[in-house]
Amino acid sequence: MEYQHLLYQVDKHIAYITINRASALNALNQQTLTELEATLLEAKKDHDVKGIIITGAGEKAFVAGADIKEFVDLSEAEAKLLSQKGHYIFTELIEQSPKPVIAAINGFALGGGLELALACHMRFASANAKLGLPEVSLGLLPGYGGTQRLTQLVGRGRALQMILTADMISAEEGLRIGLINEVLDAADLMDRVVEVLERIFSRSGTAVAAAIDAVNASNEQTRDGYQVEINHFAELFVTSDFKEGVDAFLTKRKPNF
């Protein structure tokens, strides 16, 4: 499939999704959201893909928000549908992906762009990255899960400060408050993200998927995270990965998952 606003490629078990609207600072218009949904579904069904990296084209922006021009004539019902679409993509296809998804934040991550990064399992940023949720300055609030995920990551007080002031913070400040995993020189960003994914690939894919699900359950009201952990722990005991992992440990060799 050809994409108008995205670049998609798979290399060495990694699906690279690049938001490719550099002239618009990679803003998420509705077409880009639709294409993002398609690439995530493609990566999900591709058995060769073990992990996903999401980044932005160019050197200025990861994703500098939504495309505000598209908001002007939306009705209340249309706005609700747009928010629901974003929630579906960010929650079901990214946050709940059994394959690890990492955001490589290579510049501005604002509004919907920061919400996209928040949905990923990890966030690595270049030192020049700026992060923020400016929606209240437009008379809105974050609509793709930002109010919930930012609060889960940094706490209620810090989340409210970022959301209510609409101020940007630096990558280093994001690291300090737990929003960012690591801050790197721009030239080293992608190599480090690949390195982390390759480290994950050396582990049991079955166990990785179960761990993602158990961690996700910690923030869900409809599931008891402790019980999810217990269930996955028991289920993994009868998998071939468990048998291989234990045998490798006992015979002092690297496991072959």
**13, exposed or middle or buried, with CB in 10 Å at 0-12, 13-18, 19+?**
middle
Catalytic residue among 70, 78, 115, 182: 115
Q: Which of 37, 76, 95, 135 is catalytic?
A: 135
Q: Which residue, chain included where needed, has tokens 């249309």?
A: 78
Strand 169-170 to strand 51-56: parallel, antiparallel, or no bridges (unpaired)? Answer: unpaired
What are the angstrom distances between the C-alpha of 224 and each of 55, 92, 184, 198, 220?
Answer: 33, 18, 36, 31, 8
Residue 52 forms beta bridges with which residues?
15, 101
Collapsed DSSP state (helix, strand, coil) of residue 105: strand
135 is a catalytic site residue: yes
**Catalytic residue flag (residue 244):** no
Strand (E) or helix (H) holding 10? strand 6-11
Catalytic residue positions, numbered: 115, 135
